[in-house]
């Protein structure tokens, strides 16, 4: 059992004003606790996330993201030439709905048999992956777990 984590999930974790902030906090906490198996992301997602976080939130947000990745728990897969070529082909076929970053994630998911994707981008990934987890994740938790996540969020906000 494994899960691929997309850019929006990382971004919303660090942007407390994002509508999906609590979804990301709960989802990534559960992911790092092993609820979905081994978590993966790609080097392109890391690049996209750092650019987005730095551009919208400043260098501190980008550094906090890198610090999270350096703590471990989420494996970052590097694209090799074969995966990159397949991602370019998929991107070319679906340019209207996919970014190159999204195409690379989908190629790696297919090759590695990863069926779960943590994302808020249902438009891009829609019918291309079996199980999307993200939007409404916090609300799907029981009341006790929601209270734990809310308390964790308040603790993080004071740091």
Mean pLDDT over the full length of the chain: 93
Output the pLDDT for position 126.
72
Q: Which domain holds residue 144?
A: 2-76+115-157
All residues at 6 or more sequence positions from 118 whose CB lies less than 8 Å from its CB, including other chains: 3, 4, 5, 6, 9, 27, 28, 31, 36, 39, 133, 134
CATH code, 142: 3.40.50.1010
Q: Is residue 146 part of a domain?
A: yes
Please, what's the b/e burial string for 97-128 (b: 16 or more CB within 10 A of its CB; e: otherwise)?
Answer: ebbbbbbbbbbbbeeeebebbbbbbeebbeeb
Q: State percent of the chain over pLDDT 90.
A: 85
Averaged pLDDT for residues 79-84: 96
pLDDT digit string, tens, across residues 23-54: 999 999 999 999 999 999 999 999 999 999 99
Output the pLDDT for position 43.
97
3 phi and psi angles, rounded to 5 deg: -145, 140
Q: Is residue 20 part of a domain?
A: yes
Nearest in space to 43 (alpha carbons), one of 17, 82, 5, 72: 5
Output the pLDDT for position 25.
97
CB 40, CB 74: distance < 8 Å: yes
Q: Is residue 92 part of a domain?
A: no
pLDDT digit string, tens, across residues 97-135: 899 999 999 999 999 999 999 999 987 787 777 799 999
Token digits of residue 12? 């919303």
Counting every residue, how long is the chain?
159
Confidence of residue 159 (pLDDT cuts 50, 70, 90): low
**Distance in angstroms (rounded) separating the CA atoms of residues 11 and 6:** 9
Q: Is residue 108 part of a domain?
A: no
Output the pLDDT for position 2.
93
Q: Is residue 83 part of a domain?
A: no
Beta strands in the chain (DSSP E): 2-5, 38-42, 75-77, 116-119, 131-134
Q: Is residue 128 part of a domain?
A: yes
Q: Is residue 94 part of a domain?
A: no
pTM (2 decimals)? Answer: 0.94
- For the chain, how many structural domains are there in total? 1
């Amino acid at each position: 059992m494994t899960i691929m984590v997309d850019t929006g999930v990382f971004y919303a974790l660090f942007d407390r004003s994002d509508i999906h902030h609590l979804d990301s906090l709960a989802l990534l906490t559960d992911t790092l606790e092993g609820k979905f198996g081994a978590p993966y992301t790609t080097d392109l997602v890391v690049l996209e996330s750092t650019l987005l976080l730095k551009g919208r939130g400043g260098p501190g947000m980008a550094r906090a993201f890198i610090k999270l990745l350096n703590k471990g728990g989420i494996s970052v897969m590097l694209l090799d030439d074969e995966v990159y070529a397949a991602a370019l082909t998929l991107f070319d076929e679906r340019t209207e709905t996919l970014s190159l970053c999204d195409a690379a994630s989908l190629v790696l998911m297919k090759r590695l048999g990863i069926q779960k994707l943590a994302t808020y981008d249902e438009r891009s990934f829609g019918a291309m992956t079996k199980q999307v987890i993200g939007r409404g994740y916090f609300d799907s938790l029981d009341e006790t777990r929601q209270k734990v996540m809310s308390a964790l969020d308040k603790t993080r906000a004071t740091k």
